[in-house]
Structure 1
């Protein structure tokens, strides 16, 4: 009796298994396109019921094989498109046609607030007071060469031009106390005729900010300027520098102050001289390397409110008078 029961159970098992295999041999097929009826490749087609998945080919066609009979939930997803869902019951002869719509992602509004800076760029370099004090007797271009990106073009022991990022002469604008210094544009033998003793501030402007000074500031701008005069007192300074090679020296005297009867009027006079002989090496003397210079300058300043006006006795267009005599 027990043997017959066991054989009956075995027959029922194989019968159910064959029935299950027969019910999971269905195929779901179809096409995925966009709203313009263009086929979409790479659409993920998932059966949420049994977690099976396939992808559409370049023609938008797909085939999901070995699906069981019954109610099936399909999802269609592709990056940039809204996910679509479709429910169907197997078996069926229906071929699915899915239209995918472009997904619109709305993010929160972004507000960009900018504050205009005082300068177009920050490429403005100042020569420190200590550096100016150490290089007082040197030409202007040699002093400026201490700034990064600035070199000098030498055509003699006392002739040197500032070179900014490889540009010089008429590509570099030199402002001497607000006046354009045009002397260095004449040729290679002409350097800026500026006495460094007259300058309390030396700065170099490089980059886009130089365009505000005109087209001739393509390489950059060199600014030499003096501090305002305090008319309430009389002050002065004396500089003496010596040089062993060439057995010469440099001297400078500057005196400034105001006029008691005219409290808004101030004055400044300055004179410097240089006399150096030919330089020499351990073996011989370098000919034509000596220099003798005399530089004179004068300034009148008149202050009205917060405005300071400076005048020259040479021409009303100049705000500083400066003489250089090569002897």
Structure 2
């Protein structure tokens, strides 16, 4: 029995020793951060132990309470407070400890910043005068500005081209025709704007922030076509006539403009343009079915009475454009053969003047009115209203006697 008692005492001793060695002890460390100048606590100061990924934030009294294992006899950490420099500290602990750190706290004051601004007038980035329009009377709307840095065009061949400003085109560019937002059916890359530079006496191009005034469609820029009011002091009529000949795509063009006073404070401006050309050609062959016909008419009526100015206009635009016959591919076999041919399909021996299918025929009618009342030197009331009708017909090569029936026949009224 006495032997069993010794064994029980021995087992109890071993069990208590195992429990003692299995327990882990730790130190409680209290750190307080105070201002070096007035001994005030520094809340929001942080302390991060080097071996830890998280930082502890001081409370309103500037205190941090840490529970560290006794295996860490030497503590290294980083102290941060506001915009002051980071402090690396190191201390040793052997039991529960309370520490106080004095930090240099100061404010960083910047010099006063004064922002000066000036009134920015909405000047056009590019201005094309009436004289420049006369020089480029035969150019399409896209070709008119394609030589200006940052402005180019996307050409689909022949007279089908769209303007592009800094990589944006189509519905990212807005055309404003005498105060009316121009709306037509140019949804595809193969659709040119149904408008001519000859539709006005001057063209202004706005890009970047000045274009915002013309709506969300002018993210890339805005083309503003207008006809300034003729001077009422001149008692005579005056105008200009431009005729031209085309050698690549034999044809001719006639453009005219006239304006004058028809009554007291009432002025009239009329402009018209007729163009026609046959098939264009390269150095080796004829580009069959690339002819074009275009007709433009416009009448502007201006009136002025004291602080009130009014402008009414009526315009008509029509264009019939042929599409290169060899570009009409029916299947993959024809496409592969066309890519390997030196001379395209359907190439004629001599240029033609008839526009056959495939082709596009568009018409655009515009009736608009603009009024401006000058309330004072800096305030103006501007009212604009208009009606537009755009008609687009697209003809394709079809079997039977259906060539005269358009594949696309749409009208857009705005």
- Bin for the TM-score computed over the shorter chain: 0.5 to 0.7
Alpha-carbon distance in structure 1 between the residues aligned to 2:367 and 2:254: 30
- State the 1:322 CA deviation: 9.8
Residue 26 of structure 1 aligns with which residue? none
- State the 1:239 CA deviation: 0.7
Structure 1 residues 187-223: Cα deviation after superposition (integer angstroms, max 9, x where no partner): 3343222222233322222223322211222222111
Unaligned residue ranges in structure 2 (runs of 5+): 1-32, 48-75, 86-99, 315-364, 371-385, 393-414
Q: Are residues 33 and 252 of structure 1, via their aligned partners in 2, closer, same or farther at CA, if it must alter by over 3 Å?
A: same
- State the 1:128 CA deviation: 5.9
Residue 114 of structure 1 aligns with which residue? 117
The answer on 1:36 being equivalent to 2:49 is no
Alpha-carbon distance in structure 2 between the residues aligned to 1:33 and 1:216: 60
Residue 19 of structure 1 aligns with which residue? none
- Taking structure 2 as the reference length, what is the TM-score of the superposition? 0.50
Residue pair 1:173, 1:181 contacting (<8 A) in 2 also: yes
Residue 235 of structure 1 aligns with which residue? 238
Unaligned residue ranges in structure 1 (runs of 5+): 1-31, 41-57, 61-78, 82-96
- State the 1:39 CA deviation: 11
Alpha-carbon distance in structure 2 between the residues aligned to 1:289 and 1:323: 26
Alpha-carbon distance in structure 2 between the residues aligned to 1:147 and 1:124: 11
Alpha-carbon distance in structure 2 between the residues aligned to 1:227 and 1:235: 15
Residue 125 of structure 1 aligns with which residue? 126
Residue 253 of structure 2 aligns with which residue? 250
Report the structure number with the largest CA radius of gyration. Answer: 1
Alpha-carbon distance in structure 1 between the residues aligned to 2:201 and 2:243: 17
Alpha-carbon distance in structure 2 between the residues aligned to 1:195 and 1:216: 20
Residue pair 2:271, 2:298 contacting (<8 A) in 1 also: yes
The answer on 1:183 being equivalent to 2:184 is yes
Residue 302 of structure 1 aligns with which residue? 303
Alpha-carbon distance in structure 2 between the residues aligned to 1:123 and 1:310: 21
SS at match of 2:142: helix
- Taking structure 1 as the reference length, what is the TM-score of the superposition? 0.62
Residue 226 of structure 1 aligns with which residue? 227
